[in-house]
Amino acid sequence: MSTGRDQTIGYLAAAGTVAIWTGFILVSRLGGKSALTGHDILALRLGVAAFLLLPFAGSLPRGSWRDARLWTLGMVGGLLYGVLVYAGFKLVPAAHGGILLPGMQPFLVAAVAWLLTRQRMPRERAFGLAFIALGVGFAAQSYLAGSAWSAAMLAGDALILSSALAWAFYSVLAKRWGFHPWLLTRFVAFSSALIYLPVYLLWLPKQLDAVPMSTLVLQGLYQGVGATIVAMLLFLKAVEKLGAERVGALIALVPVLAGVAAAPLLDEALSGWLLAGLVCVSLGAFVAARPIARLVPAACPATR
C-alpha cells in the first residue's frame, strides 16, 4: 500500500523528471537546428548511456536477455521512441515537440491505460485533464498561430506525436509489468544500443564532423546521461510510486515550462497565451495528480 513517504518520493522523482525533460526540449531544439542528423543525436544518446552503464551490465539478473517483456520495453521506450522523436525535431520547431510530446502524455497515457486495463478514469482526474487541455491549447495558440505550415512540418508533427504514443505505451507497460527502475534503465540503454548502433555505423548518414566538439559534448552528455539515465531512473521511480496516469499529468507541465525558459535562453517571445497556458496546465496537473481517496491503491511493483 502506498504510504506518505512513497508519495513524497514519487513527487520528488516526478519533479526531477519534469526539470530534465524541460531541458531536453531546449537541448533537442539546439541539436535539431545544427548540422547533426537525428541519427547522430540518437547515436550519441545511446552510445554515451551504454558506455557509462557498461560496468553494471554484469549485474543484470539471470534471464534478462531472454525476457520478452524487457525487450518490448527496450524497443518501444528506447529505440522506437528515440528514432521517432529525433527525426521529428529535425522537421519542426521544438515548440511543436513540447506540445505534442509531454503535452499530450496525460491523454495518451489515459487512453493506453484504458485500452490495456479497461479501467475508467476517475471524475477528478478527468477534470484536471480538461484544464491541461485548455492550457496546452493556449500554449499552442502562442506557438502555432504564425507558423508556415508545410508537408515537412506536418510529417514532423506526426513523428513527434507517434513518439509520444510510444512513450505512453512504455509508461503503462513499465508500471504494469513492475520491473525495478534500475534494471529497466540499464536494459533499455543496452538493448537499444545493441540494435541501433551497428545499423548507424554501417548504413545511416552521419554529420558528426560538421559541428564543433562543444555541440557533440552537450548532446552526448545531456541526451545520454540526463535524458537516458537520470531522467529514466526518476521517471520510473515516479511511475512506481504514483502510477503512470498521475505522472503523465505532471509531465504536462513541460511544454509551458520549456516555453517560459526559452524566452531568456533562446530569445523566444513570451506571450500572454503562453502565460495563460502555464496557469491552466499547472492547475490541471495539480488536480489530476492528486491522490484519489476512494480508489484502492495498487501494490508497489515487485523488484526483479
pLDDT reported for residue 105: 83
Residue 298, pLDDT above cutoff 50 = no
The whole-chain average pLDDT of the chain stands at: 86
150-181 tens-digit pLDDT = 788 889 889 999 999 999 999 999 989 999 89
pLDDT reported for residue 295: 42
Contacts of residue 87, Cβ cutoff 8 Å, sequence gap at least 6: 38, 156, 159
- Would you give the DSSP letter of residue 208? G
23-81 tens-digit pLDDT = 999 999 889 889 999 999 999 999 999 999 999 999 999 999 999 999 999 999 999 99
Instruction: Return the C-alpha cell found at 267.
Output: 530569445
Length of the chain: 304
120-137 tens-digit pLDDT = 777 777 888 888 889 888
pTM (2 d.p.): 0.86
Angle subtended by helix axes 151-177 and 81-89, to nearest 10 = 150
Backbone dihedral angles phi then psi of residue 268, each to the nearest 5 degrees: -100, 150
Select from 108, 101, 94, 102 the least CA-distant residue to 153: 94
Contacts of residue 244, Cβ cutoff 8 Å, sequence gap at least 6: 109, 113, 171, 172, 174, 175
How far apart are alpha carbons 6 and 146 in whole angstroms?
A: 44
Find out whether 91 and 151 touch, Cβ atoms under 8 Å. Answer: no
Backbone dihedral angles phi then psi of residue 250, each to the nearest 5 degrees: -70, -35
